[in-house]
């Protein structure tokens, strides 16, 4: 079999972690050069075309206007560019030994799927929940409908001999401060949603959070749930290097990326989305992306991988919570889209600090004294008896800023003074 | 279109004893049309509530017409535009031009801040252009930005009453 999923499986069989940038430029020449540089980098790489944020919210007029005015966008406007232009961008790099994934963030992605299918691309990412709640303001119901239609369109790619691949973005909700069990649960639920809409090649995401031990638990839980719930599916796990406020020092940024690569390798994950030293200030250059890819690939190559990817050590608190959430949602309705809508309406899924009107907003999280991301308030999440909570607490702007910058402080601070940056940080930390 | 998002930033009592005089003043916090970032908006809401302001948080990816209609309806003491994704300069220019053309909103205090371009800090000319277009202040990213934002807030009630 060919395609994105098959490429990743072959790399895994060869003991290699696939590394991938998030890269998107509006100018076709630069996008083409970026793909070629990614392909040429040392390490097992796949390419990325990240779309601009006007395309994400379907403001194609603004994307087109910026192109006319020659103004750079924060990504590649694949719907506005002519298919011939995009084929030229892909020419010479894209192929069986260099798959390319389209990354976007749209809760209304049908135009995007049409555009990528037209040029023969077979991989994208997203999900009805994860591309709606933090990424826009359309109702969740509309996002579920849009993603249903888009999946049903995307699977028709098989008629051309390609195997469509979709990655869940659910393991990255809001980038930071969502407890790992809920990230795992949403990633699994979105994978099941894709599966029920005909996808047979799927990846499940998980974004590095604040504690390496807890992250390893989360990935093991994710693998165990996928093994149980996704038969007849070619699935793999993709790790994201930390998505929140990134360290500002080059040394801190590289050490954090190194931990992400170690997490990916040590948990038997198959793919890693890297971050660069420039993340804290701006969108990175092609060269910075190549540097990050090569560093991550080398770090992973030097990390012991498990002999089997079975769920060793998966029987953790994180698994117990994730399994409780997934089971509760699956029991709500036989139609998974309907079940997810009901779950958010009743607070069975509830993203801390998420502003979307369809999110109940009763749950709260904090970082404990050991750096683990925990529930400060479970709201109406079906975790009574699974999670010990100490009652809700007030979160001030200072607490929030402390929590948001915990990782940056830890990695930058250690670089400067050599002392551990861990401490009593975030709401709830001093009550234990 | 969804109603404005005002939840999600802690239903806490906003440290009311620190600034009782501002209880009646409303600040509208908003992202720009193409920006999905929200941590900046949640932080600003908490900060403003602690300083005693009532906050209407419009959330991310806000259409310009919603900012206009909310400002007309609420007559805020301040409009705070915050952006992270790199289109902040472009979207922010368009928003303030539209806002200033609107009868009744030509003098509502309005500020913008965050990461406003895709290539790092904005040029002095671009910062100046945002002010010329109608913003009362532009705040760069970082702690000095937050400190100067707080100084502006300290000065706000008098301005709003003037």
Tens-place pLDDT, residues B114-134: 888 777 777 778 888 999 999
**For residue A53, which residues of chain B lie inside 8 Å, CB to CB?**
34-36, 85-87
How much of chain B, in percent, has pLDDT values that exceed 70? Answer: 77
Residue-wise pLDDT tens digits, A73-117:
999 999 999 999 999 999 999 999 999 999 999 999 999 999 999
What is d(CA B9, CA A400) in angstroms, rounded to the nearest whole number?
10
User: Could you tell me whether strands A364-367 and A373-377 are parallel, antiparallel, or unpaired per DSSP bridges?
Assistant: antiparallel
When CB atoms are compared, the residue of A59, A176, A281 closest to B33 is A59
pLDDT of residue A353: 93
Residue-wise pLDDT tens digits, A2-45:
799 999 999 999 999 999 999 999 999 999 999 999 999 999 99
pLDDT of residue B146: 74
Judged by a CB distance cut-off of 8 A, whether residue A65 touches chain B is no
pTM of the full structure: 0.89
Judged by a CB distance cut-off of 8 A, whether residue A105 touches chain B is yes
Judged by a CB distance cut-off of 8 A, whether residue A246 touches chain B is no
Judged by a CB distance cut-off of 8 A, whether residue A304 touches chain B is no
Q: Which chain A residue's Cα is nearest to B59?
A: A355
Tokens of A194: 């894709």
Judged by a CB distance cut-off of 8 A, whether residue B46 touches chain A is yes
Query: Among residues A182, A204, A246, which one has the least CA distance to residue A374?
Result: A182
Largest CA distance in chain B: 42
- State yes or no: pLDDT of A225 exceeds 50: yes
pLDDT of residue A424: 26
* CA-based nearest distance A142→chain B, Å: 11
Judged by a CB distance cut-off of 8 A, whether residue A407 touches chain B is no
Q: B85: pLDDT confidence band, cut at 50, 70 and 90?
A: confident
Q: B8: pLDDT confidence band, cut at 50, 70 and 90?
A: very low
Judged by a CB distance cut-off of 8 A, whether residue B95 touches chain A is no
Return the axis-axis angle of helices A110-118 and A140-154, rounded to nearest 10°: 20
For A330, phi then psi, to 5°, come to -60, -30
**For residue B84, which residues of chain A lie inside 8 Å, CB to CB?**
none
- State yes or no: pLDDT of B78 exceeds 60: yes
Q: B101: pLDDT confidence band, cut at 50, 70 and 90?
A: very high
* CA-based nearest distance B34→chain A, Å: 5
Judged by a CB distance cut-off of 8 A, whether residue A101 touches chain B is no
- State yes or no: pLDDT of A422 exceeds 70: no
Give the CA distances from residue B146 to residues A189, B44, B139, in Å, rounded to whole numbers and listed in that order. Answer: 39, 10, 8
pLDDT of residue A136: 78
- Judge: B2–A137 Cβ closer than 8 Å, yes or no: yes
**For residue B42, which residues of chain A lie inside 8 Å, CB to CB?**
353, 355, 400
- Judge: B119–A282 Cβ closer than 8 Å, yes or no: yes
Show which of residues 63-92 on chain B sit within 8 Å of chain A, judged by CB atoms: 85-87, 90
Give the CA distances from residue A398 to residues A275, A366, A370, A393, A428, in Å, rounded to whole numbers and listed in that order. Answer: 26, 13, 20, 14, 13
Query: Among residues A41, A397, A24, A405, which one has the least CA distance to residue A252?
Result: A405
Non-local (6+) Cβ contacts of A423 within 8 A are A369, A429
Residue-wise pLDDT tens digits, A340-379:
999 999 999 999 999 999 999 999 999 999 999 999 999 9
When CB atoms are compared, the residue of A135, A361, A394 closest to B7 is A361
**For residue B1, which residues of chain A lie inside 8 Å, CB to CB?**
137
State the ipTM, two decimals: 0.84
Helix, strand, or coil (residue B137): strand
- Judge: B39–A396 Cβ closer than 8 Å, yes or no: no
What is d(CA A369, CA A250) in angstroms, rounded to the nearest whole number?
26
Tell which of A134, A143, A355 to mutate to test the B interface (max B CBs under 10 Å): A355
Tokens of A85: 């232009």
* CA-based nearest distance A134→chain B, Å: 6
What is d(CA A106, CA A138) in angstroms, rounded to the nearest whole number?
10
When CB atoms are compared, the residue of B35, B43, B87 closest to A400 is B43
- Judge: A282–B120 Cβ closer than 8 Å, yes or no: yes
- Judge: B34–A400 Cβ closer than 8 Å, yes or no: no
Q: What is the DSSP string of A158-180?
A: GGGT---EEEE-GGGTTSSSS-H
């Amino acid at each position: 079999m060919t395609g994105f999923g098959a490429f990743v499986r072959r790399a895994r069989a060869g003991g290699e972690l696939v590394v991938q940038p998030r890269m998107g430029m509006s100018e076709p020449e630069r996008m083409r050069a970026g793909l070629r540089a990614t392909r040429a980098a040392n390490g097992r790489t796949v390419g990325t075309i990240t779309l601009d944020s006007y395309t994400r919210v379907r403001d194609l007029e603004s994307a087109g206007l910026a192109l006319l005015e020659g103004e750079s966008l924060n990504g590649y406007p694949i719907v506005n560019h002519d298919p011939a232009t995009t084929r030229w961008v892909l020419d010479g790099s894209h192929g069986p030994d260099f798959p390319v994934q389209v990354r976007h963030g749209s809760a209304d992605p049908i135009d995007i799927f049409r555009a990528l299918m037209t040029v023969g691309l077979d991989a994208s990412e997203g999900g009805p929940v994860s591309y709606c709640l933090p990424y826009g303001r359309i109702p969740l119901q509309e996002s579920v409908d849009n993603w249903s239609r888009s999946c049903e369109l995307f699977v028709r790619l098989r008629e051309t001999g390609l195997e469509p691949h979709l990655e869940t973005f659910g393991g990255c909700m809001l980038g930071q401060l969502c407890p790992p069990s809920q990230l795992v649960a949403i990633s699994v639920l979105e994978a099941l949603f894709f599966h029920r809409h005909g996808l047979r090649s799927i990846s499940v995401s998980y974004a590095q959070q604040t504690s390496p031990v807890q992250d390893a638990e989360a990935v093991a839980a994710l693998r165990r749930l996928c093994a149980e719930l996704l038969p007849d599916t070619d699935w793999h796990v993709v790790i994201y290097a930390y998505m929140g406020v990134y360290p500002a020092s080059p040394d801190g940024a590289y050490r954090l990326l190194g931990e992400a690569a170690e997490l990916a390798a040590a948990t038997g994950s198959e793919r890693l989305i890297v971050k660069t030293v420039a993340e804290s200030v701006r969108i990175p250059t092609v060269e910075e992306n190549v540097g990050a890819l090569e560093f991550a690939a080398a770090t992973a190559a030097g990390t012991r991988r498990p002999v089997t990817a079975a769920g060793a050590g998966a029987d953790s608190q994180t698994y117990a919570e994730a399994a409780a959430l997934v089971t509760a949602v699956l029991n709500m309705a036989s139609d998974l889209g309907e079940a997810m809508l009901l779950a958010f309406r009743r607070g069975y899924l509830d993203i801390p600090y998420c502003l979307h009107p369809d999110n109940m907003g009763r749950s709260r999280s904090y970082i404990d004294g050991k750096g683990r991301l925990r529930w400060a308030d479970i709201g109406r999440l079906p975790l009574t008896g699974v999670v010990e909570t100490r009652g809700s607490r007030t979160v001030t702007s200072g607490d929030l800023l402390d929590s948001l910058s915990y990782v940056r402080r830890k990695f930058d601070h250690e670089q400067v003074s050599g002392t551990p940056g861990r401490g009593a940080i975030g709401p709830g930390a001093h009550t234990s | 279109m969804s109603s404005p998002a005002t939840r999600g930033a802690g239903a806490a009592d906003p440290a009311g004893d620190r600034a009782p005089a501002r209880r009646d003043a409303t600040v509208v916090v908003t992202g720009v049309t193409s920006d999905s970032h929200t941590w900046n908006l949640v932080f600003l809401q908490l900060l403003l509530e602690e300083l005693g302001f009532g906050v209407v948080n419009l959330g991310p990816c806000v259409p310009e017409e919603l900012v206009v209609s909310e400002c007309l309806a609420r007559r805020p003491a301040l409009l705070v535009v915050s952006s992270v994704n790199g289109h902040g300069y472009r979207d922010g220019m368009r928003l303030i031009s539209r806002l200033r053309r609107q009868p009744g909103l030509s003098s509502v205090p309005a500020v913008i801040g965050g990461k406003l371009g895709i290539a790092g800090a904005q040029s002095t000319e671009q910062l100046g252009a945002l002010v010329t277009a109608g913003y009362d202040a532009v705040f760069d990213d970082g702690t000095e930005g937050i400190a100067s934002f707080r100084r502006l807030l300290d000065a706000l009630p008098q301005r709003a009453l003037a």
